[in-house]
Structure 1
Amino acid sequence: MEQLNAIHQNAVEHTKRKVLEDLDRFFELRPELPSYEEYIEERNHYIDQIWLNVWLNKSTNAVSKHLKKVHLQEVGYDVEGLDRRLIIKLFRTEMRKYRPFDVNEWFTSTYKSNSDLWVESYSKARIQFIKRQKETEEQEKQEAIKERVTRTSLKLIRKKQEELYLYLRYFVACKLKSDIKSKPMYETIDPVKIEESLTEIEAFEIIYNTRVSDFLETLTGSVHKVSLEWEKRHYEYETYFYVYQRLITNYLSEFIPKWLVSQLSPNILSQYQDSFNEALTEKVMGSLILEQMYDYIESFFYRINDEYLSDLLNVADLPFDVEIHREKLEQDLAERERKIAEEKAELERKKQEEKRMLEDIFGREYSPPAGRNIRYVLHVGETNTGKTFQALKRMKEADSGLYLAPLRLLALEVYDKLNADGIPCSLKTGEEEKLTKGANHISSTVEMFHEKESYDIVVIDEAQMISDKDRGFSWYKAITKANANEVHIIGSRNMKQMILQLLGDSDIEIKEYEREIPLEVEQKTFNIKDTKKGDALVCFSRKRVLEIASHLQNTKRSVSMIYGSMPPETRKKQMQRFINGETNVIVSTDAIGMGLNLPIRRIVFLENEKFDGTRRRRLTSQEVKQIAGRAGRKGIYDIGKVAFTSDIKAMTKLLEKEDISISSFAIAPTSSVFERFQRYSRKLGAFFELWEKFESPKGTKKASLAEERELYEMVRDTDIEARLSVQELYGFLHLPFSPHDPGLADQWKETMYAIINREELPEPRIKTGSLEELELSYKAVGLHLLFLYRLERRTEALYWERVREEISDGVHDSLITEVKKIKKKCRKCNKQLPWDFSFQICNECHADRSQSRYKNYYHR
């Protein structure tokens, strides 16, 4: 085999080299010439082994698996199907016998009879060894002098760093004076966005009472590239911070090495010259102290940042003299300490003043009241246990009563029920008033509660909502400030301890309710084909409700729909169709879990997660119970069934899990708070800042006021803020509508301008072309009604209530006729997708997007 012959020759030469290298090492360590026999006696074991090691390694590594098998077949082995490791083992065994090279014979023939070659080899090895020793000693001397130079230099920097700072201070001062005089400075809203326009700053605006760090935040007007994580790049406006960071780094990188060379003693410089045969240069000095020098550069840079700009501009006018500049720095430092002390004192004064102001404005506003001379009845239990029925039964027996609901729909339901039972009842929500002649009972949303009105009985529904971060304070007010002989509080078990804590020593009766109708979880995974009469299918978005309802209608099922943004009147009609048997299936969001009593055989969770406005998350135990509790209806379905499309075990655990008690209630600004605030300021922006700083008392959590702030930013510093009191403006900001709905925020702003200008309120824009347009129109009319009732323009409100009712009829009709035509489509290319497709875009669009991201990542 030609390849083996070539490898063999290479192995022989390699073996010879290794033996000769070993001989050189042997000679190096002996000051006198050793004999041939001495070497053989000491190194014979190595010589014997070296050939086999070299040959086996080279032959095994260089010969391919195929050629190994060919060779083994040639010598009689059957290698078909053998493991690779076994082939290698057999090949190595064969190579041990293949043309062995006798190293001892070669070495003996080369040296034993040739004493001159032996002596010559010894001489060369010793000369090289002595030369290396001298080079090593010289390197050690050079490293020692380098170490001495480095150590002495760093000691000099530490000792005279104040002097170095004086040089830098004067250099920066001169540069600042030149730049402020000759270069433009800019500012912008967001320097990261280069599309933002720049505003030029006058130099005098930034000089006095300004730190250098403040000046360095101004923009040069140029754009530069910034490196981010993962090798990404982006562009933003350049600040003077980057300019001066580079400037100071370059200056000190040149100045410090030059200054050190001039400061070192002649003795050290002479030693360096003798050791290296050249003078110590600034470049070499810079490399010796590079790491430590950059630490000082960074320290000096941030020290410059802390200086007052006016101090440095004065320094620029002084000719440089170390002592004069040292004295000036000491004066400036003393003055700076005095200013810092003044700033700290002023800050502390403002802090204490703000603390007193916060205490005065908010004080004990949110402390639970002491026991009151009212009888409280707590109706505590799971969903669908008759709690509300029992509380309303007591209210109907009283001469006057107030029912407070979490939703307009529930208020409307109780209003209809009481009137149908022959008990005159009026309806009051933020968007409507229906006054019934001779009525002493009112059904209302909880936000409409007024503490100065008194009743025989007040019923407060869904009291666990007290913990809601945005609406919870309405329940707190109603529970703690209701004026009545009896207050009935209805809620889930987890609110019990919190309510007892709020009511303190009051007269309290607790009524516990258990489900008469058991819940049974189906162990089989639900499939949409299994949908039966009496099922309520639950998902968590309007879009999903419509897609599923469309699919069911197209498979010959009659469907009612419920979702949060649906008009209450429409929702009522959809429910009634189900109750009357016109439809046999409901598709709903979690809106079904809030006080809606329907003859539901089975609750089916089509999804186990929901988007809560911030993130997509797993349903909580309380949410699962609230929804699942709607299954079953006494006398119709004596067992309530619950089904899931996935994770049955995990979801069942949530259903069976004991509720965690509510440990805090929500608080929000009150009229008293605003009255006290107005003694300090007339700006609502200042109030929002104080609300942010106000520490919520233990057991409470502040309302975020996110939507109020969002609306406020639309009218901040406008005529609207100027002409309205803080409390009036907040009242309009607090109207119960979502500014995120298209067009509503603009409608709100237009109406606000009409109010302050004493003009006719703009009529809401009404479109009736599609279901979505009808729903938006309904909300627009609802917002208009909120304004009309707030302005006590009830006659106009009656007209717009009729208009809204007509729109809700249109929504209802559209749900019956149009939903069947709804198809799930790719959000990007509009291609029709299967109704149960899990994503918003099709596979092709997803692949295109992924490929585009891949290209962008690797070609940026």
Structure 2
Amino acid sequence: MKGVEPWPHQEEAIMDLLAGDHVILNTPTGSGKSLVALGMHFAALCTGRRSYYTAPIKALVSEKFFDLVEVFGRENVGMITGDTHINADAPIICCTAEILANQALREGRHADVGCVAMDEFHYYGDSERGWAWQVPLLTLPNTQFLLMSATLGNVDAIADKLEDMTDTDVDIIADAPRPVPLTYEYTLDSLEKTVELAFGRGETPIYVVHFSQDAALETANALASTGVSSKEQRAAIAEAIKGTKFTTAFGKILQRLLRTGVGIHHAGMLPRYRRLVEQLAQHGLLPVICGTDTLGVGINVPIHSVVLTALTKFDGTKMRKLRAREFHQIAGRAGRMGFDTEGLVIAEGPEFEIENAKALAKAGNDPKKLKKVKRKKAPEGFVTWNENTFDKLIDAAPETLVPHMKVTHSMVLNEVAQGGDARYRIDRLIDDSAQNPEQKEHLHDRADEIFQTLFNTNVIETEDRDDGGKDYFMTVDMP
């Protein structure tokens, strides 16, 4: 890009890509990973190779699509998600990770995939979706990979596996400084007071992180009545949203909140409402956004301060303390490149500790009053945290990614669609995976079950080959 002077780590990454190597870019949020990906797409375009950009969520895919259209022109960029196909034959494709993984299973080593920038690559360790980040590395031996995330941890095992599968060098770049340094505060003030103090210091925009959607809405309603925006901001917001239809019950709540300068952001919102909040934030119109950790996934929303209302979350099974990767994904959103000299991350103490601190402050230095203060204890079964928890998270490196693989009917059918010996390829996929022996045995058993079901229902059949092998094919047209 004209006028952009790359940082040393960006230049190193681009030179490695031009040399034909794979690159694992394990650098902080705001350190310019997008510029490296841009260089990869440009090099691919110049050499007649098709390049892909993948991300875990449609919103990020869409955002990157428009960014690349602006650079390379609409005719050169396409987008494929589960419900959107735009210019699908373009030389540069933006898609979700699952789209590429399924294409890799259908087409294998013959897929027209010259190079891939896989964003938010820490999803490799996601228990439900990690397979989609692992499959392309195992099935596209002729493809060049750029794997990017701010929270990868130790990636030596991933680099070794990729090098083994593709017979190509893998360069790990992980020494980039954070362009906007972070400062950290732990507080026993109420959330309303914390936000008020941050406003007084000019530490806006603020993203208030919750780990439930209901809690985010509750805080948003509380802050909306405290006057967080100026008259000018409210007028600008009213102008910006005047063409938007808020037709649902939640939409009407969102409209009311936005008019006060408070945004909401979580995965349960309609995509158009989420995009509206992101657009208003990008234009600097929302001093406060209350949401969940969805904003930790790459969306380009400028935030100066991140306030964590808890250092624990419910993971679907139990309440537990945040892991280092989860913490750094969220905290890393603080600090606006080009706007701030530093970002601010604030952690709130547990509610019972905040109430204790308030009672002690009210007693002041009066010994009699201090003696009468009844300290509250954590509720029974409550997973608590303290300033030491916060300090440990700040200092902790992201955990080493644990690989995840699965075998599903869809994956098997995609392999069958490729032609040839689909069972051999599924078995090889399992054997080549980064799973341990016990997991591989379970995956082989699962593959047996799926193939048997597909045979029993006459969805697939085989033909013997002269060389003793088998060709698999489908007997029905799949949607």
Give the SS at the match of 1:592: helix
Amino acid at match of 1:668: K
2:142, 2:93 → 1: CA distance?
13
Q: Structure 1 residues 441 and 584 mapped into 2: Cα distance closer, same or farther (>3 Å)?
A: same
Question: 1:385 maps to which residue?
Answer: 31
Give the SS at the match of 2:330: helix
Equivalent residues in 2 for 1:218-237 (5 A)?
none
Question: 1:537 maps to which residue?
Answer: 208
Amino acid at match of 2:146: H
Question: 2:321 maps to which residue?
Answer: 618
Question: 1:409 maps to which residue?
Answer: 59
1:160-188 CA-to-partner distances (Å, cap 9, x unmatched) read: xxxxxxxxxxxxxxxxxxxxxxxxxxxxx
% of aligned pairs identical? 26
In the alignment, structure 1 residue 440 sits paired with structure 2 residue 91: yes
Equivalent residues in 2 for 1:425-574 (5 A)?
425-435=77-87, 439-449=90-100, 450-451=103-104, 452=107, 453-482=111-140, 486-491=144-149, 492-505=151-164, 506-512=168-174, 513-526=176-189, 527-531=191-195, 532=199, 533-557=204-228, 558-574=261-277
Q: Structure 1 residues 625 and 676 mapped into 2: Cα distance closer, same or farther (>3 Å)?
A: closer
1:394, 1:402 → 2: CA distance?
10
Asked if the contact 1:456/1:484 (under 8 Å) is kept, the reply is yes
In the alignment, structure 1 residue 601 sits paired with structure 2 residue 298: no
Offset at residue 420 of structure 1 (A): 2.2
Offset at residue 442 of structure 1 (A): 0.7
Uncovered stretches (5+) of structure 2, i.e. residues with no partner: 1-18, 229-260, 350-385, 417-432, 462-476
Offset at residue 564 of structure 1 (A): 1.7
Amino acid at match of 2:92: H
Identify which of 394, 409, 419 aligns with 2:40.
Answer: 394
Offset at residue 675 of structure 1 (A): 7.4
* Aligned length in residues: 329
Asked if the contact 2:30/2:337 (under 8 Å) is kept, the reply is no
1:490, 1:580 → 2: CA distance?
27
Amino acid at match of 1:725: V
Deviates more, 1:383-392 or 1:444-453: 383-392
Q: Structure 1 residues 721 and 484 mapped into 2: Cα distance closer, same or farther (>3 Å)?
A: closer
Asked if the contact 1:469/1:666 (under 8 Å) is kept, the reply is yes
Q: Structure 1 residues 606 and 724 mapped into 2: Cα distance closer, same or farther (>3 Å)?
A: farther
In the alignment, structure 1 residue 725 sits paired with structure 2 residue 459: yes
Asked if the contact 1:460/1:479 (under 8 Å) is kept, the reply is no
Uncovered stretches (5+) of structure 1, i.e. residues with no partner: 1-372, 679-694, 728-757, 759-789, 792-860
Offset at residue 469 of structure 1 (A): 1.6
Structure that is richer in strand per residue: 2
Give the SS at the match of 1:665: coil
1:495-523 CA-to-partner distances (Å, cap 9, x unmatched) read: 52232121235222222233121111024
Offset at residue 441 of structure 1 (A): 0.8
Identify which of 403, 411, 419 aligns with 1:665.
Answer: 403
Offset at residue 696 of structure 1 (A): 9.2
Offset at residue 723 of structure 1 (A): 5.8
Asked if the contact 2:325/2:397 (under 8 Å) is kept, the reply is no
Offset at residue 551 of structure 1 (A): 1.5
Give the SS at the match of 1:596: coil
Offset at residue 378 of structure 1 (A): 1.2
1:465, 1:550 → 2: CA distance?
33
Give the SS at the match of 1:564: coil
1:555-584 CA-to-partner distances (Å, cap 9, x unmatched) read: 233122211222334322211101112211
Asked if the contact 2:313/2:319 (under 8 Å) is kept, the reply is yes
Question: 1:698 maps to which residue?
Answer: 436
Q: Structure 1 residues 545 and 481 mapped into 2: Cα distance closer, same or farther (>3 Å)?
A: same
Asked if the contact 2:404/2:435 (under 8 Å) is kept, the reply is no
Give the SS at the match of 2:216: helix
Amino acid at match of 1:408: K
1:447-473 CA-to-partner distances (Å, cap 9, x unmatched) read: 001223323331111222112221111
Asked if the contact 1:535/1:601 (under 8 Å) is kept, the reply is yes
Asked if the contact 1:428/1:434 (under 8 Å) is kept, the reply is yes
1:607-658 CA-to-partner distances (Å, cap 9, x unmatched) read: 2211111111111111111100110012212201110111233212112113
2:438, 2:273 → 1: CA distance?
36
Question: 1:648 maps to which residue?
Answer: 387
2:173, 2:343 → 1: CA distance?
23
Give the SS at the match of 1:634: coil
Question: 2:280 maps to which residue?
Answer: 577
1:591, 1:415 → 2: CA distance?
20
Give the SS at the match of 2:345: strand
Give the SS at the match of 1:660: coil
Offset at residue 698 of structure 1 (A): 1.8
Asked if the contact 1:666/1:701 (under 8 Å) is kept, the reply is no
Equivalent residues in 2 for 1:64-75 (5 A)?
none
Amino acid at match of 1:442: I
Question: 1:376 maps to which residue?
Answer: 22
Task: Select the structure of larger CA radius of gyration.
Answer: 1
Amino acid at match of 2:125: S
The structure showing larger relative contact order (alpha-carbon pairs under 8 Å, at least 6 residues apart) is 2
Q: Structure 1 residues 484 and 551 mapped into 2: Cα distance closer, same or farther (>3 Å)?
A: farther
Offset at residue 381 of structure 1 (A): 2.1
Amino acid at match of 2:395: E
Offset at residue 673 of structure 1 (A): 8.1
Q: Structure 1 residues 481 and 516 mapped into 2: Cα distance closer, same or farther (>3 Å)?
A: same
Offset at residue 490 of structure 1 (A): 0.9
Structure that is richer in helix per residue: 1
Offset at residue 660 of structure 1 (A): 3.0
Offset at residue 389 of structure 1 (A): 3.5
Amino acid at match of 2:220: A
Q: Structure 1 residues 554 and 471 mapped into 2: Cα distance closer, same or farther (>3 Å)?
A: same
2:185, 2:143 → 1: CA distance?
46
1:421, 1:528 → 2: CA distance?
42
Amino acid at match of 1:421: V
Give the SS at the match of 2:61: helix
Amino acid at match of 2:120: E
1:43-95 CA-to-partner distances (Å, cap 9, x unmatched) read: xxxxxxxxxxxxxxxxxxxxxxxxxxxxxxxxxxxxxxxxxxxxxxxxxxxxx
Identify which of 279, 292, 317 aligns with 1:589.
Answer: 292
1:658-687 CA-to-partner distances (Å, cap 9, x unmatched) read: 33322x411111679847999xxxxxxxxx
2:415, 2:289 → 1: CA distance?
49
The RMSD of aligned alpha carbons is 3.5
Offset at residue 486 of structure 1 (A): 2.8
Offset at residue 589 of structure 1 (A): 0.6
2:303, 2:131 → 1: CA distance?
32
Q: Structure 1 residues 701 and 644 mapped into 2: Cα distance closer, same or farther (>3 Å)?
A: farther
Asked if the contact 1:410/1:595 (under 8 Å) is kept, the reply is yes
Asked if the contact 1:405/1:446 (under 8 Å) is kept, the reply is yes
2:116, 2:415 → 1: CA distance?
32
Asked if the contact 2:44/2:51 (under 8 Å) is kept, the reply is yes
Question: 1:214 maps to which residue?
Answer: none
Q: Structure 1 residues 458 and 466 mapped into 2: Cα distance closer, same or farther (>3 Å)?
A: same
Question: 2:15 maps to which residue?
Answer: none
1:540-565 CA-to-partner distances (Å, cap 9, x unmatched) read: 11111111112222223312221122
Offset at residue 440 of structure 1 (A): 1.3
1:835-856 CA-to-partner distances (Å, cap 9, x unmatched) read: xxxxxxxxxxxxxxxxxxxxxx
Equivalent residues in 2 for 1:89-488 (5 A)?
375-399=21-45, 400-423=50-73, 424-435=76-87, 439-449=90-100, 450-451=103-104, 452=107, 453-482=111-140, 486-488=144-146
Give the SS at the match of 1:379: strand
Asked if the contact 1:409/1:569 (under 8 Å) is kept, the reply is no
Asked if the contact 1:538/1:604 (under 8 Å) is kept, the reply is yes
